[in-house]
Amino acid sequence: MASFFERNRQELAAKGIDPARLPPGQYHTDRFPVLHAGVVPTIDTDTWDFTVGGLVATPRRWSFDEFRALGTATTVADIHCVTKWTKFDTEWQGVPVRTVLDLAGPRPEATHVLVRAEHGFTANLPLDDFAREGNLFAWRFGGEELALDHGWPLRLVVPHLYFWKSVKWTRGFDLLDRDQPGFWERNGYHMYGDPFREQRYWGD
């Protein structure tokens, strides 16, 4: 008898969807489960800001309105949660990560990023992965304003890595000359998090 994961892949193939889009150990869903550590924050857009620091030529700070005025792009991508669900063809709108990086000016010695969010949450990424074409600081999902429990007013979207790297309630980032583990990475999650290599936890 086929397992749940095998049946899920068979169902995709029957619909004409290439099962190869689904990383190993994942299943496809049309839902968008809500998962996060701690409580949903209270956001005051009058005092909210976004800051960039560390190894940059020009540290930057934007208010809520200033950040939204930086220019909007759209990304359509599959997303993969470490808890094993995958959602295809999700649509996001927001400021391209590259736009923000260009305004701050990474210094030559910068190799990694530590993303900062509400409640002191952090996540780490290599700078090259952070700066990939299509990555966004998003505030819209599926054509509508992003829901608070999905990260409004701003969520980083890095679709090619497990989705805990796409930090909810993002408030900024720092560029570093080394890899520094974030919240989940200090608590057993993989430092990189490639879904197609099943890099979920330490040792994967």
What is the set of domains in the chain, with CATH numbers? 4-197 (3.90.420.10)
3-state helix vs strand vs coil in the chain, percent to 5: 25, 30, 45
- The tens digit of pLDDT for each residue in 55-91 reads 999 999 999 999 999 999 999 999 999 999 999 999 9
- The tens digit of pLDDT for each residue in 127-177 reads 999 999 999 999 999 999 999 999 999 999 999 999 999 999 999 999 999
Going across the sheet that includes 112-117, the strands are 60-63, 49-54, 170-176, 112-117, 122-126
| Interatomic CA distance for residues 134 and 95, integer angstroms | 10
Instruction: Give the torsion sign (CA, 88, 10, 161, 121).
Output: positive
- In angstroms and rounded to an integer, the radius of gyration of the C-alpha atoms of the chain is 17
